[in-house]
Structure 1
Amino acid sequence: MRRKVGAGLLLLALLGSAATVNLPFGSWSRASDGPILSPQGLGWESAGTFNPAVLFDDGKFIMLYRAQDTAGTSRLGYAESRDGIHFTRRPEPVLAPEADYEKDGGVEDPRLQKLGDAYYLTYTGYNKKDAQLCLATSGDLIHWERKGVILPAYKGNWNKGWTKSGAIVPEKMDGKYWMYWLGTAADKTDQMGLSWSTDLLHWTEATETPVLAKRPGKFDSRVVEPGPPPILTHAGIVLIYNGADDKLVYRTGLAIFDLHDPRRVIYRSDRPIFSPEKEWERVGQVPNVVFVEGMVRQKDRWLFYYGGADKYVGVAEAPAQ
């Protein structure tokens, strides 16, 4: 049985701006009451399978998911599906920690984008000391070539800590690629930055302060983290993001940026559009987490793929409009 999540919540959040903001999707509901991917075995994916990147390509849904063993080391697994719900996994990871900036901690939290004929993967390289935003490329989604750290930790106009969660805009704008990402401000809160590049390898910050900042007293008072790669619509650059409050409950938010200026926010949800409700979203390696990293349009609906409690993969859906 499918259950509506916050029926009408999206419309309520849009009151006062519905005349000027038209979203490409309606209210979210769970497409599956239970996880669509769970930990298995005693090896590399025994502790957690979560935070998936998903795209639809060549008639298939392709998922790269974060898999964690009992030692806490993360690798990226590969799974594919014809219907977007039932996935078949490869027995071995497609990306495992090798570089010094990945050793021991691993490769985490992928975002996946196809640009031209190549696939671009942003991920977090974690060596148990530093977490840094990294890039890899592939021609087949199986074999990956590392491009290294693209946003170093502890550097930047406002970032004082780690860098993570790169969400690349799918088309060039003003001759540049743009990427939203997560950094840590001086007050130890995690907020969203924006950078640009002409080659996807060398990035320059586009703002002196966070492009999407924390909001005290709201669902995103502690963390404002990019979700899946944004989509371009007539309304603007639509970005799903993951927000956490002071109790580190993770919920889903939405922001729209100006098509002519990716720095300018033209809409931001006042309330979350998706929240942890199921037991497997509230109990796991990290409690009370829904963390969206994949977003795919399938005919007349959108599918949103998320990690539940840092242990499982779930999927929500919304009608296309």
Structure 2
Amino acid sequence: MKFAKRSEMNPLLKPSDVKPSRDDFKVDGVFNCGVCKYKDEYILLCRVSESVKVNTEDEVKIPIVVNRDGKDIIEIFSFNKKVDIKYDYSDSRSLWIEDEKGTKKIAYLTSLSHIRIARSKDGENFEIDNEAFIKPIALEEEWGIEDPRITKIEDIYYINYTSVTRNGAATSLVSTNDFKFYERHGIIFAPENKDVTIFPERINKKYIAFNRPVPSAIGGADMWLAESPDLVHWGKQKHFYGVSNENSWENGRVGGGAVPFLTEKGWVKVYHAADKNDRYCLGAFLLDKDDPSKILAKTNKAILEPEEVYEKEGFFGNVIFTCGCLFEDGIVKIYYGAADDKVCRADIKIEDIFTLMEK
């Protein structure tokens, strides 16, 4: 039995709805959005991914944020598949190169992402801004900024996102109280650590956040919990939940998903997981109100998985990935990226999530 109800308006946003930031750019995707309510509007902070237009199939152009004379600008680096043969071009998302030990690593990303605001009165009909809300800076985000999540604490909206450079994928933090201006707080989790979600209130006088470090030798892409006195300095890391060793929907990696929300039964955490074939789905935890490291229950099966054409086909198919949801009137409104290029929404009753959980 299926409990999640997809919006009849899906996809709510798609690449053709977004104006490129430059004439020589094309929009590859609008997806993986953080969500909140601000005044009388639904606010989505959308990841907008762009690449440089090319004239031939052999041409590859790479956009990178650089600093010139104290100003951050985008510089374009050109490659030719027939000439620059040291690179592996088989992945459309990146260029790979082999080091002296024969190990392949990413040399460049083919796209550059920034964050834009989309607004709606009803939560389904969105208009997206023509200009970026948060642009990447050369020092911390030369390869772009991705997957924003919004946590409201008192009157401040804290926005954490993945910040990417040649040194790896880190997590940065900014804050705003009006979605017009924001303050940067720098990198809060060093590479490689992403999928960070911050709880919307202090627990035992500490800020708490999920994070997902990715070890290269021992361990897997698992979820951890950290605490902080000020949202900037994080420590006391504790392993929370690991990748399944079974033949399941979460045997590849697990991660952040949406910001947790509080119910009468405890914290509900919608998270994402992928199998070994990179098929991304969503599940949910029920956590203790005073100690969110304690899992009271969880969904054994995915609550939302790729089924519709717009989820199976796109820039990277078979992907449902969320960065935010809203809990209103007993309904969990999940905003998610579909196939890495569209914004969609699905609603599920909180009681149905509890029904799907197994202790």
TM range (shorter): 0.7 to 0.9
Structure-2 residue corresponding to 1:304: 334
Alpha carbons 1:305, 1:316 under 8 Å: kept: yes
Indicate the percent of aligned positions where both proteins have the same amino acid.
29
Other-structure match for 2:130:
91
Aligned equivalent of 2:120, options 67, 70, 81? 81
1:130 paired residue number: 168
- Residue 3 of structure 1 aligns with which residue? none
- 1:161-310 alignment to 2 at 5 Å? 162-185=192-215, 186-187=217-218, 189-207=220-238, 210-216=239-245, 217-299=247-329, 301-310=331-340
Deviation at 1:320, TM superposition (A): 4.9
Offset, 1:119: 1.0
CA distance in 1, matches of 2:330, 2:224: 32
TM-superposed CA distance for 1:54, in Å, is: 0.7
* SS of residue matched to 2:292: strand
Aligned to 2:186: 148
Judge conservation of contact 1:81–1:88 (CA < 8 Å) in 2: yes
Equivalent pair of 2:162/2:171 in contact (CA under 8 Å)? yes
Query: Which of the numbers 33, 37, 42 marks the counterpart of 1:61?
Result: 42
Structure (1/2) with the larger strand percentage: 2
The alignment status of 1:49 with 2:26, answered yes or no, reads: no
Quote the residue 1:114 is aligned against.
152
Count the aligned residue pairs: 286
8 Å CA contact retained: 2:42, 2:120: yes
RMSD: 1.7
What's the TM-score, normalizing by structure 2? 0.76
Residues 170 and 194 in structure 2, CA contact (< 8 A), matched pair in contact too: yes
Distance 2:319 2:45 in 1: 19
Mapped to 2, the partners of 1:42 and 1:198 lie a distance apart of 40
SS of equivalent to 1:101 = helix
Q: Secondary structure at the match of 2:141?
A: coil
Name the SS for the 2:305 alignment partner.
coil
* Structure 2: gaps spanning 5 or more residues: 52-109, 352-359
Alignment-derived partner of residue 317 in structure 1: 347
Question: Are the equivalent residues in 1 in contact too, given 2:14–2:343 (CA < 8 A)?
Answer: yes
Amino acid at match of 1:213: G
Distance 1:314 1:106 in 2: 23
- Rg bigger for which structure? 2
Once the two structures are superposed, residues 2-22 of structure 1 have per-residue CA deviations (whole angstroms, 9 ceiling, x without a partner) of xxxx52xxxxxxxxxxxxxxx
CA distance in 2, matches of 1:205, 1:199: 14
- Matched residue type, 1:141: F
Are the counterparts in 2 of residues 215 and 221 from structure 1 also a CA contact under 8 Å?
yes
In structure 2, give the amino acid aligned to 1:201: V
Structure 1 residue 280, shift from structure 2 partner: 1.5
Deviation readout 1:210-240 (Å, 9 max, x if unpaired): 3111112221111111111101122222100
Q: Deviations over 1:52-84 (max 9, x none)?
A: 111112111011010000141000010110000
SS in 2 for 1:281: helix
SS at match of 1:140: coil
- Which residue pairs with 2:60 in the alignment? none
How far apart are residue 300 of structure 1 and its match? 5.0
- Contact 1:206/1:263 (<8 A) preserved: no
| Unaligned runs of at least 5 residues, structure 1 | 1-5, 8-26, 154-161
1:22 alignment partner in structure 2: none
Deviation of 1:302 after TM superposition, in Å, equals 2.6
TM-score by length of 1: 0.85
Q: Which 4+ stretches in 1 moved above 2 angstroms?
A: 40-45, 185-189, 297-302
